[in-house]
Amino acid sequence: MNIGELTGVKLLGVLLLVAALATGGLYYTVYKSQRDQNGAAQFKLQAKLRENAELEAYRPKLADMERQLASLKQQLEIERRIVPDEKEVDNFMRIVSGEARKSGVEVRRYTSRPYVAKEFYTEVPFEVEFDGPYYSMLGFFDRLGKAERIVNVANLLVASTRKPSDAKAKHTYQYAPGESVVATCLTTTYFSHDLDPAAPASKPGPPAKK
Q: What is the pLDDT of residues 187-202, one digit of tens each?
A: 988 887 654 444 444 4
DSSP string for residues in 75-110: HHHHHHHHS-SS--HHHHHHHHHHHHHHHT-EEEEE
Q: Which residue has the higher pLDDT, 109 or 32?
A: 109
Paired residues of 124 in beta bridges:
189
Give me the residue spans of the domains in the chain: 9-56, 89-191
Return d(Cα 69, Cα 65) in angstroms, integer. Answer: 6
Mean of pLDDT over the chain: 75
Q: Give the CATH number of domain 89-191; options: 3.40.50.1000, 3.40.50.720, 3.50.7.10, 3.30.70.60.
A: 3.30.70.60
Return d(Cα 190, Cα 122) in angstroms, integer. Answer: 6
Determine the average pLDDT of the residues in 64-78. Answer: 62
| pLDDT, tens only, 126-176 | 899 999 999 999 999 999 988 877 888 999 999 999 999 999 998 888 888
**What's this model's pTM, rounded to 2 decimal places?**
0.53
Whether 64 has a pLDDT exceeding 90, the answer reads: no
Residue 193 is predicted with a pLDDT of 65
Number of other CB atoms surrounding residue 42 within 10 Å: 10
| pLDDT, tens only, 16-28 | 666 666 666 656 6
Q: Which residue has the higher pLDDT, 49 or 17?
A: 49
